[in-house]
A and B are shown apart, each in its own frame.
Chain A
Amino acid sequence: MSATLSTFSDQLADAVERGARSVVSVHARPRLPSTGVHWRDGVIVTTEATVQRDQNITVTLPDGRRIPAELKGRDPSTDLAVLSIPTGQLPVATLGDPAALRPGHLVLALGRTGDGGPRAAFGAVSTTGGKWRSWKGGEIDLRIQSDLTIYPGLGGGPLVSPDATILGINSGGLSRSLATTIPVSTIDSVVTQLLAKGYVARGWLGAAMQPVRFSEAARAKAGIKGEGGLVILSVEPDAPAARAGLLVGDVIISLDGAAIEHPDQVLELLGGSVVGRTLKAELVRGGKQEKMDIVIGERPRRTR
């Protein structure tokens, strides 16, 4: 009879059942709990925005037990938070490769909100893309957006493929229109940093700058190949830029061997694991090219 549809239906239900073995509910805010994924043994990942307190956090496991969890760290820029629980409590998530996703691929969102069984939503991938920066400044390896409805409580839960592998974590906070998923590789990297330090360190120069274009005359006089650079508008005292000797009015034309014409390029450079590294800078000062070494510092953290 309707064997095709029933088979498809069973496959989806199997994917929900298998995927949900590593999905917990997270009690870290008033009223409605959110969802979390058992990412590594003893490590639960959820979305940062749903962790509204630092203490008295508990998680409900698939077998119904509710156990205490400890907040290990949070990164608002990628909307991720990491909790620890005792090891060996439940299976670790089976991770897939979100880079293989294309628009049209069918996906599930899973949640566990409270003591009950899993909750599921179904849809299709709408758009995919490369690296992007969230409105909170975090660098995310892949853009994955879908038409899934992230019902209340499903935030922090996994994006699951029909073969039950987990491709990322769904964030309610990163975009308003389409559901946005933080991909596996970004989560892996943030989890490692949060477990080590409790936060994600980001590079810091301590200088304000804006794009500027050179006149033909200036280019000819100083022998500049590029069309423009970034002019320094201010330098914070004792910041890495100040310690390196950068002055207001200097124009940076290259950093770490790459031509620089837009502040986003600097932000991108500072987003990675660059803290403590010495970057070679080329700049124009008083109409002449100069070279400078800048030791990148760690961006001071605002207290929450």
Chain B
Amino acid sequence: MSAPLKEVAAERVKASVVEVLQGASAGSGLTWAVDVVVTAAHVVRAGRLDVRLPDGQVREARVRLADRERDIAVLDVPRLGTPAVLRRDPTELRPGEVVFAIGHPLGVRHAMSAGILHAVGPLPEGYPGSRQLRRLSWVQADLRLAPGNSGGPIADSEGRVVGVSTMTVGGLALAVPITAVEALVRARAA
């Protein structure tokens, strides 16, 4: 049997994943467009920060926008050079579909963790987590995330990105739906 996950889906996504470095904190980011990286707002502060590419080169980056409630930041990274991710509307996914995350959990670079889609939408009424958390819609995945995954992609079995990793609640991985990121980027561009 071939190893399609490694050879096609994961390799393709990995090429678009960067490390976001600011002071002592390190998160993950994904290439959104030419010279643009999307990451989680909680891994960046205003000011100068660095982005490390898959080949190890480091580029300087600037925070273009940060939405703290939705926990998404957009970075301008001149001479980025990495390919933009393919995207898929997560509401097209069915619970049970294979998904995987790529990021730098606990400093392990470009690590993959695989699992399945748990659900898409708000957390159930009464689920652990803050009220603010429960007001928002999430890509909820049954896979393992660790600090350092934040801002990295969660992708489907063909490597199309459906969400941006944010945190875990009750063990469940939560990611911002890629459609919400699109809406955010569009709104700020207008």
A binds B: yes
Bound-state CA distance A127–B1 (Å) is 27
| 18 pairs, CB–CB < 8 Å, chain A vs chain B | A2-B159, A5-B9, A6-B158, A8-B157, A9-B157, A12-B98, A17-B95, A20-B95, A31-B126, A32-B127, A33-B126, A108-B96, A108-B116, A113-B124, A116-B124, A120-B142, A149-B172, A153-B124
Which residues does chain A contribute within 8 Å of B124, judged by CB atoms? 32-33, 113-114, 116, 119, 153
Q: Is A15 an interface residue (CB 8 A)?
A: yes
**Does B115 sit at the interface, judged by CB under 8 A?**
yes
A2 touching B126, Cβ below 8 Å: no
- What residue of chain B has the Cβ atom nearest to residue A121's Cβ? B142
With A9-B98, A16-B95 in contact, is A116–B127 under 8 Å at CB?
no
Nearest B-chain residue to A31, judged by Cβ: B126
Distance of A162 from chain B, by nearest CB (Å)? 9
Cα(A9)–Cα(B115), bound, Å: 10
Q: How far is the CA of A3 from the CA of B158 in the complex (A)?
A: 9
Check A223 for interface membership: any CB of B closer than 8 A. no
- B96 A13 Cβ-Cβ under 8 A: yes
Q: Please name 10 further chain A to chain B contacts, defined as beta carbons within 8 Å, in addition to the given A14-B96, A20-B95, A119-B119, sorted by A numbering.
A: A2-B157, A2-B158, A9-B157, A17-B96, A31-B125, A108-B96, A116-B124, A149-B172, A151-B172, A153-B124
Could you tell me which residues of chain A, from 149 to 177, have a CB within 8 Å of some CB in chain B? Answer: 149, 151-153
Which chain B residues lie closer than 8 Å to A152 at the CB level? 127-128, 170
- CB contacts (< 8 Å) of A4 on chain B: these are 1-2, 4
Q: Quick check: is A42 within 8 A (CB to CB) of the other chain?
A: no
* A149-B171 CB under 8 A given contacts A2-B9, A12-B98, A120-B96: yes
The 3 tightest CB contacts between A and B, nearest first, are: A16-B96, A32-B126, A31-B126
Please determine whether A9 and B121 come into contact, CB atoms closer than 8 angstroms.
no
Query: With A4-B4, A149-B142, A149-B171 as given contacts, are A12 and B116 in contact (CB-CB < 8 Å)?
Result: yes
A-B contact count (CB 8 A): 108
Contact with A along B1-26 (1 / 0, CB 8 A): 11011011100000000000000000
Whether A2 touches B4, Cβ cut-off 8 Å, given contacts A9-B157, A17-B94, is yes
User: A interface, by DSSP: helix, strand, loop or mixed?
Assistant: mixed
* In the assembled complex, B145 has its CB within 8 A of some CB on chain A: no
Chain B residues near A15: list those with CB within 8 A: 96
How extensive is the interface on chain A, given as a class?
A: 20 to 34
B126 touches A122 (CB 8 A): no
Inter-chain CA distance A143–B127, complex, in Å, is 29
- Return A27 CB to nearest CB of chain B, in Å: 10
Instruction: Kindly supply a per-residue 1/0 record for chain B positions 71-85, scoring 1 wherever the CB is within 8 Å of any chain A CB and 0 otherwise.
Output: 000000000000000
> Is the C-beta of B97 less than 8 angstroms from some C-beta in chain A?
yes
State which of A2, A113, A117 has its C-beta within 8 Å of the C-beta of B127. A113
CB of A5 within 8 A of CB of B95, answer no
A151 to B2 Cα, complex, angstroms: 33
| A10 interface contact, C-beta 8 A | yes
Contact of B94 among A6, A13, A30, A32 (CB under 8 A): A13
Interface string of A13-29 (1 = CB under 8 A from B): 11111001000000000
Contacts of A30 in B (CB 8 A): 126
**What are the residues of chain A within 8 A of B157 when measuring CB–CB?**
2, 5-6, 8-9
B126 touches A151 (CB 8 A): no
Which B residues are in CB contact (< 8 Å) with A14? 96
In the complex, A118 has a CB within 8 A of chain B: yes
Q: From B94, which residue of chain A is reached at the shortest CB distance? A: A13
